Structure 1
Amino acid sequence: MTVTRFQDLPLADRDRQWDGDAAEKRVRAWAGAEKEPDAKYRDAHVWYDGDAPDNFESYKLLIADVIDGRLTAVPHAVMAAGAVMQGARGGIDVPEEDVDRIKSHLAKYYAKMGDTAPWER
């Protein structure tokens, strides 16, 4: 299992609304990943199943969208991912050994937003 490398993506405005389904479509088109995931597509997510990297269902915690042609982290997406890591929406099914790395990845975006991750409060 794999936590993606921190990309230090630029941040969208904090008030930008998050529509994960629409973002997913834009990320696929931007990455050229309509038929199968690729490295650019992977960069928009925090975690994926390294045993099945060619399966879109393997990718979890989408935190980015394509804004003005550039992959950009969306604060509401980061907060939604943080909430999932805290158990919202039934939590997330990832290996226990990946949880701290996922939280560390997300915490870097919380810090970039000038905020503290919920598990650090």
Structure 2
Amino acid sequence: MMMIHNPWTYAWGDANAFLQIAAELEKIREAMIPVYQAKTGLTKDEISKLLDAETWMTASEAVELGFADEIEEAKQVAASIIAPGRMVVNGMEFDLTRYQRPPQPFMFDDLKRKVYNGVVPEDVSRELAPEDTPWEAPDLEDFTDKSWDELTDEEKREIAGHFAWAPEMPPPTYSDLKLPHHRPSDGAVVWAGVVAAAQRLDQTDIPEADKERVRQHLASHYHQFGRRAPWERDDEADNKLKMLKLELELLTGNSF
């Protein structure tokens, strides 16, 4: 598939900063349109409408409109849908939820049943512990005097709510639970526990198909403490770099 859209970016600052960014985005848009015109033979107005509509095209449609010359022989790629609207192609993740009109087959909620391997438990509490609260990963004994097999399913679910991931609900064993970040005594979210969970995520055996949901869950706690998760900061920096490269390429005609 191919998609064309107006230039966009992430930004922060005061009104003057946003006005400047809007002007820069418009400058990039005006530089893009003649390039598409020269390639397709479409008018400026036609290109503008396609950009405004965030137009997605199949290979055949791209050739028909002049955005592509021909359809090459199909090639095998490694691709998977890790969540509704989120897919990985040849190791590169794409978040289609950021777009206005993504292809609907990738957005259906029932895809969760096909691609998720585990469960992100519902938080046992959204209350926050003081930010300087010390943290140590809890043992089962910190929650109960019973053995895991003696617990009811409801008790197991409540304990699971202190963690970021479980293979199923209720969890088969206590050791199946991953990335604790709630205080056992009252369920409060512990800042040091959230940070520890985020740091350990990629070291766990949580299936790749589930890690994005775990990141979203942990990011919500980062936001509670008025911070952004590390991967959110990385995404923002990457997007700014991509926009700068695109602007330089359009203005200079060189690839970077």
TM-score interval (norm. to shorter): 0.7 to 0.9
Post-superposition shift, 1:25? Answer: 3.1
Tell me the number of residue pairs that the alignment of Structure 1 and Structure 2 aligns: 110
Which amino acid counterpart does residue 39 of structure 1 have in structure 2? R
Contact 2:166 2:177 in 1 (8 A): yes
2: CA distance, partners of 1:63 / 1:6: 10
Answering whether residue 228 of structure 2 is matched by residue 116 of structure 1, we say: yes
Answering whether residue 208 of structure 2 is matched by residue 96 of structure 1, we say: yes
Answering whether residue 119 of structure 2 is matched by residue 2 of structure 1, we say: yes
2: CA distance, partners of 1:107 / 1:13: 18
Post-superposition shift, 1:49? Answer: 1.4
Post-superposition shift, 1:8? Answer: 5.1
Post-superposition shift, 1:110? Answer: 0.1
Post-superposition shift, 1:52? Answer: 7.6
Sequence identity of aligned pairs in percent?
Answer: 25
Which amino acid counterpart does residue 132 of structure 2 have in structure 1? D
Contact 2:219 2:228 in 1 (8 A): yes
Which amino acid counterpart does residue 59 of structure 1 have in structure 2? L
1: CA distance, partners of 2:129 / 2:170: 30
| Larger strand share, 1 or 2 | 1
Q: Which ranges of structure 1 fall in alignment gaps of 5 or more residues?
A: none
Superposed CA offset, 1:26-66 (max 9, x none): 2x22xx7x321611101101101118822111101011113
TM-score normalized by the length of structure 2? 0.40
| 1:58–1:116 Cα change, 3 Å | same
- In the other structure, the counterpart of 1:42 is 160
- In the other structure, the counterpart of 1:75 is 191
Contact 2:138 2:180 in 1 (8 A): no
| 1:46–1:66 Cα change, 3 Å | same
Which amino acid counterpart does residue 188 of structure 2 have in structure 1? T
Secondary structure at the counterpart of residue 65 of structure 1: coil
Moved over 4 A (4+): none
1: CA distance, partners of 2:127 / 2:170: 28
Contact 2:157 2:169 in 1 (8 A): no
Answering whether residue 139 of structure 2 is matched by residue 19 of structure 1, we say: no
Q: Which ranges of structure 2 fall in alignment gaps of 5 or more residues?
A: 1-117, 234-256
Answering whether residue 217 of structure 2 is matched by residue 105 of structure 1, we say: yes
Bigger radius of gyration, 1 or 2? 2
Larger relative contact order, structure 1 or 2 (CA cutoff 8 Å, min sep 6): 1
| 1:48–1:114 Cα change, 3 Å | same
| Larger helix share, 1 or 2 | 2
Post-superposition shift, 1:81? Answer: 0.5
Cα-Cα RMSD: 2.1
TM-score normalized by the length of structure 1? 0.80
Secondary structure at the counterpart of residue 187 of structure 2: strand
| 1:73–1:51 Cα change, 3 Å | closer
